Amino acid sequence: MTKDPLANAIIYRKVAETMRDTVYAQMIWAIDMLGLTAYFRYRVSPLEIVYELTGQRILFKGADDPRKSKSIKLSKGYFKCLWFEETTEFDGMDDIRTIKESVIRTVDQAFTFYSYNPPQSANNWTNAEALIPAKGRLVHHSDYTQVPPEWLGKAFIADAEALRDANEKAYRHTYLGEVTGTGGQVFDNLEIRKIPDEELNVFDRFMHGHDFGFAGDPDAYVKAYYNKKLRKLYIVDEFYGIRVPLNRLAEEIHNRAGNGIVTCDSADPRMIAELRRLGVQAMPAKKGAGSIEHGMRWLQDLSAIVIDPSRCPNAAREFSTYEYRQDRFSNFLADYPDKNNHTIDSTRYCVESESTARYATTFNLKGL
């Protein structure tokens, strides 16, 4: 704001009543830390901070009804900075998009900040959103160990250390901001990270799987590499789309799989035949009684499933948010829900040749 005389800022929390003692006080503290207190005027009705040299403002708003943001107007300049504090309090990205579309206008470059402690469940919308790669997006994770201790005080640190000793999992979530899970996650062997080109270039044999989309479900193709020695599966490429024309689907898969065999959902032999006609080496998965449970258990027993979120955002989202079904008392059942699992199904087909293989073991009996 001090560098751009037309820049204003607006800060949102879900509930307006919480703002004065949280983000408003935090901004006063930050201005003081920067040595700029003499340049700003603070008002509480309405809640705002004004830069006295130019009249630029920092506004504070509740988002109980996101549509109310459409009535916000500035007498001078534009909103260049938008901050959603405690983002997890919001109902989802639809509410946030409604606010952004109303607030961020007539400016070439704006900055949106989302701050929150990651929810315990990977299935929460904020954790899923953070996995989606977007141009210009930076995801930063920090915790209390990375700030000056005097900002926190001895009592805060003592409480953190006491919880660490009493309940290490709760400590990791509450104080380190880790997504520790609710106990219902199906895959606890995930590594969601970038797979650099130099690592990818040494992979020598890829496997391919495809799950057909029906009605509103997407077509989902995955490309993977399996390191048998380390028992690690690397998911390195995907195609994901709803109601994709057959010619384009065949082209997208062929561009990724080449002449490799693509193991497909056997529920639609007609689609497999059409893909083969269009040059894809499509083959039906064997399936059979217990095949889903066997394939899922095989994936769960791997030492790691490595997924590159920039190359495979949908696989990263589905694998990390997939949880066991719950009964009406919120108890987890040993049952895999058939929803939001399209890349998971295509991965099961992809690795079928490995997961169903029977390996012979040779024993050296010499000397016995």
Q: Summarize pLDDT for 252-311 with one digit per residue, the tens.
A: 999 999 999 999 999 889 999 999 999 999 999 987 778 888 999 999 999 999 999 999
Average pLDDT over residues 178-204: 87
Return the percentage of the chain with pLDDT > 90, whole number: 61
Rounded CA-CA distance 193/309 in Å is 6
Mean pLDDT highest for which of 115-124, 174-183, 219-228?
219-228
pLDDT category at 28 given cuts 50, 70, 90 is: very high
Sign of CA dihedral 240, 125, 175, 115: positive
Query: Which of the following is catalytic: 52, 85, 86, 168?
Result: 86
Rounded CA-CA distance 321/17 in Å is 32
Question: Catalytic residue at 86?
Answer: yes
Q: What pLDDT was estimated at residue 312? A: 95
**Alpha-helix residue ranges (DSSP H) falling in the chain:** 25-33, 93-103, 125-130, 154-166, 168-174, 197-200, 246-257, 269-277, 291-300, 313-321, 342-350, 352-355
CA gyration radius, the chain: 26
The answer on pLDDT for 363 being more than 80 is no
pTM of the model: 0.65
Average pLDDT over residues 198-209: 94
Average pLDDT over residues 352-357: 88
Q: What pLDDT was estimated at residue 23? A: 94
Q: What is the dihedral of CA 149, 152, 153, 159, to 10 degrees?
A: -100
Instruction: Decide if 221 contacts 238 (C-beta within 8 A).
Output: yes
Altogether, the residues listed in the chain come to a count of 368
Q: What pLDDT was estimated at residue 302? A: 94
124: helix, strand or coil: coil
List phi, psi (to 5°) of 89. Answer: -75, -20
The answer on pLDDT for 66 being more than 70 is no
* Residue showing tokens 């561009």: 255
Rounded CA-CA distance 248/213 in Å is 14
Helix, strand, coil in percent for the chain, rounding step 5: 35, 20, 45
Average pLDDT over residues 94-100: 89
The answer on pLDDT for 212 being more than 50 is yes
pLDDT category at 101 given cuts 50, 70, 90 is: confident
Q: Name which of 236, 255, 247 is nearest 274 in CA terms.
A: 247
| 122 vs 235 pLDDT, higher one | 235
Rounded CA-CA distance 221/234 in Å is 14
Return the percentage of the chain with pLDDT > 70, whole number: 94
Burial code (b: 16+ CB inside 10 Å, e: under 16) for 170-195 equals: ebbbbbbebbbbbebbbbebbebeeb
**What's the chain's average pLDDT?**
89
Instruction: Decide if 226 contacts 298 (C-beta within 8 A).
Output: no
Q: What pLDDT was estimated at residue 358? A: 58
pLDDT category at 325 given cuts 50, 70, 90 is: confident
